[in-house]
Amino acid sequence: MIEVKNISKTFGDNQVLKNVSTIFEKGKTNLIIGQSGSGKTVMMKSCIGLINPDEGEIVFDQRPFSRLAEKKKKDIRKDMGVLFQGGALFDSFNVEQNVMFPLNMFTTMSLEEKLDRVNFVLKRVNLENVNNLYPSEISGGMMKRVAIARAISNNPQYLFCDEPNSGLDPKTAEVIDALISEITEEYDMTTVINTHDMNSVLQIGQRISFLYKGQLWWQGDMHTILEEENPELQEFVFSTELTRRIKK
């Protein structure tokens, strides 16, 4: 479980997060949703330690994270897997080397054990016979799946996904969503997903936090979001022609 306790962040005169508190539950897909500029990315980056909040605290299973020195954060970081928006695969490494990277850095496994683990996680994300391909040689959807494989290769307790569906066609996006959801359940991870894709919200939103102008505006799940009367949330949810038609 991850507890976000009263975090605030200001850049210059712009207060991006205003006293946000929420809980990301274990074994569930926790979604952070909101329009562009609502503070989703800053919240996600605060959780993974790329930004230090001005106030408040992030606690990983009773382990305070945001106030720790960089060296001490390392222990918690070893338990994190992060899927970045663009995949952030290392260009100079092939698929196998990318997925093996966390194992090389943080385990004492033999090469054989590492290769077994790499092949296992690649199979888990439905990728086979791509070990020797480089990121430039694979499609966007495959890149995301390799990034997921890398994120889970070292058995993390926490999985963070920043806009996992951006740049993907609807069918591939659905596959990626389903994969993240299955993995979360299978490994009993705390998964946090930053998205503005309503398909994802309705497909895997087991716990949803809606941010509006830097504040936590609403919390619920995929079953309650469509019935909610909050006008700001309604504006976000029914912002596309498709959702407006469904509403009618």
Q: Which is nearer to other proteins, 49 or 141 (CB)?
A: 49
User: Is residue 90 near other proteins by the rule CB under 8 A?
Assistant: yes
Q: Phi, psi at residue 25, to the nearest 5°?
A: -85, 150
Closest distance to other proteins from the beta carbon of 42 (Å)? 14
Q: Which is nearer to other proteins, 62 or 108 (CB)?
A: 108
User: Is residue 73 near other proteins by the rule CB under 8 A?
Assistant: yes
Residue written as token pair 């930053």:
194
User: Is residue 78 near other proteins by the rule CB under 8 A?
Assistant: yes
Which member of 27, 86, 141, 167 binds other proteins (CB under 8 A)?
86
Candidates 24-32, 86-94, 121-129, 233-241 — which segment interacts with other proteins by CB under 8 A?
86-94
Which member of 25, 52, 74, 246 binds other proteins (CB under 8 A)?
74
Residues 157-216 that bind other proteins (CB under 8 A): 160
The DSSP secondary-structure symbol of 25 reads P
Cα-based distances in Å from 53 to 3, 14, 64, 66: 14, 14, 13, 7
**Crossing angle, helix 170-187 and helix 140-152, to 10 degrees?**
10
User: Is residue 106 near other proteins by the rule CB under 8 A?
Assistant: yes
Closest of 152, 156, 90, 81 to residue 121, by C-alpha: 152
In angstroms, the CA 160 to CA 24 distance is: 11
Q: Which is nearer to other proteins, 195 or 198 (CB)?
A: 195
Q: Which is nearer to other proteins, 89 or 179 (CB)?
A: 89
Q: Phi, psi at residue 163, to the nearest 5°?
A: 45, 65
- Identify the sign of the CA torsion 191, 194, 200, 202: positive
User: Is residue 63 near other proteins by the rule CB under 8 A?
Assistant: no
In angstroms, the CA 82 to CA 194 distance is: 11
User: Is residue 80 near other proteins by the rule CB under 8 A?
Assistant: yes
Q: Which residues bind other proteins (CB under 8 A)?
A: 48-50, 73-75, 77-78, 80, 82, 84-86, 88-92, 101-102, 104-106, 160
